[in-house]
Amino acid sequence: MSVLELRSISKVYGRGAAEVQALRDISMSVPAGMMVAVMGPSGSGKSSLLTIAGTLEEPTSGAVLINGQDVERMSNGAKARVRRRTIGYVFQDFNLLPGLTAAENVSLPLELDGMSARRAHLAGLKALEDLGLGDQARRFPDQLSGGERQRVAIARAVVGDRSLLLADEPSGALDSANGESVMRLIHTYCKRGTAAVVVTHDAQLASWADRVVFLRDGRVVDQTMPPAGPETLLEQPS
Ligand code: ADP
Ligand code: MG
């Protein structure tokens, strides 16, 4: 069973003369452990695809299944739970809360989900330590570099063992070394069993993915399985 399944998704924004068809008949299946990169020019529907996959917006037609469950048939409570527990989101501009430390930013979703502050804090610290950010746990976002902030945002998105990671140009505001380390990190989570869909405009970064989907005018125009991503080079014996 796929963690994420999109069945013939179409999305129309606006009406009449202002009507925009953002997505046209998109189908996609992302099993546990798979990292999919989505590429395409500006306006091709990448963000629309991600917000619909993340249940933040409804498709005009078609179905979204999360762990086999049709989102349209879920109660509002069940949908909210899926957003809190199953799906993690990472955005280009990090979206960290400036008044909270790194550790507090990461533990917040767990607390919102009902975990005690103490347990949430410990889980947040652990997630930061896993990313090599243990020493930065007490810092506020403006005391962190861009690369560190994005790693905190990724820790927040995966904390609590979520099964689907959705990232919209997570490396868009980073230099190439930090962009590379963000993709490597997402790749590592996928090897542990997370499913991920990552939008990027950088072909080099997309090569971290198991599959690359190309969008144009809301349609899938091509899909590839990169023969040798950077990880296979790293795995070669020296
Ligand atoms: P991308 O992320 O690839 O740049 P988007 O998914 O943001 O593309 O946008 C796809 C198309 O849908 C664009 O033409 C965009 O203007 C339009 N669009 C996206 N969101 C909205 C919205 N909320 N209202 C109206 N049009 C939108
Ligand atoms: Mg976009």
- 54-80 pLDDT, tens per residue? 999 999 999 999 999 999 999 999 999
pLDDT at residue 144, rounded to an integer: 95
Best residue among 9, 11, 12, 20 to mutate for probing ligand 1's pocket (most ligand atoms within 8 Å of CB) is 20
pLDDT at residue 130, rounded to an integer: 82
200 lines ligand 1 (CB under 6 A): no
In the chain, % of residues over pLDDT 90: 74
pLDDT single digits (tens) 30-56? 999 999 999 999 999 999 999 999 999
123 lines ligand 1 (CB under 6 A): no
Mean pLDDT of the chain: 91
**What end-to-end distance do the CA atoms of the chain give, in Å?**
37
Atom 20 in ligand 1: which residue has the minimum CA distance? 48
Choice among 19-28, 52-61, 109-118, 225-234 with the minimum mean pLDDT: 225-234
The CB-based long-range contact list for 94-99 (8 Å cut-off, 24+ gap) reads 94/141, 94/149, 94/150, 94/152, 94/153, 94/173, 95/153, 96/141, 96/149, 96/152, 96/153, 96/156, 97/141, 98/140, 98/141, 98/142, 99/140
pLDDT single digits (tens) 73-99? 999 999 999 998 999 999 877 789 999
Question: Would the pLDDT of 120 be above 60?
Answer: yes
56 lines ligand 1 (CB under 6 A): no
pLDDT single digits (tens) 141-183? 999 999 899 899 999 998 887 999 999 999 888 888 888 988 9
| Cα 106 to Cα 90: distance, rounded to the nearest angstrom | 12
Residue 203, burial from CB neighbour count under 10 angstroms (0-12, 13-18, 19+): exposed
Report the residue count for the chain.
Answer: 238
Tell me the pTM. Answer: 0.90
* Interior/surface letters 153-174, b for 16+ CB within 10 angstroms, e for the rest: bbbbbbbbebbbbbbbbbbbbb
Domain count, the chain: 1
| Cα 119 to Cα 113: distance, rounded to the nearest angstrom | 12
pLDDT at residue 238, rounded to an integer: 47
In the chain, % of residues over pLDDT 70: 94
Best residue among 11, 13, 214 to mutate for probing ligand 1's pocket (most ligand atoms within 8 Å of CB) is 13
- Report how far ligand 1's centroid is from the alpha carbon of 117 (Å): 38
Q: How far is CA 91 from the centre of its chain?
A: 8
Atom 23 in ligand 1: which residue has the minimum CA distance? 13
Residue 32, burial from CB neighbour count under 10 angstroms (0-12, 13-18, 19+): middle
Question: Would the pLDDT of 138 be above 70?
Answer: yes
| Cα 2 to Cα 70: distance, rounded to the nearest angstrom | 12
22 lines ligand 1 (CB under 6 A): yes
pLDDT at residue 229, rounded to an integer: 54
Which residue segment(s) compose the domain that 13 sits in? 2-235
Atom 15 in ligand 1: which residue has the minimum CA distance? 43
Atom 13 in ligand 1: which residue has the minimum CA distance? 43
* Pairing state between β 164-168 and 87-90: parallel
State the ligand closest to the CA atom of 170: 2
- The domain that contains 21 carries what CATH number? 3.40.50.300
- Mean pLDDT for 1-12 is 97
Q: What is the DSSP letter of 82?
A: I
Which of ligand 1's atoms lies nearest the C-alpha of 168?
A: 2
pLDDT at residue 228, rounded to an integer: 55
230 lines ligand 1 (CB under 6 A): no
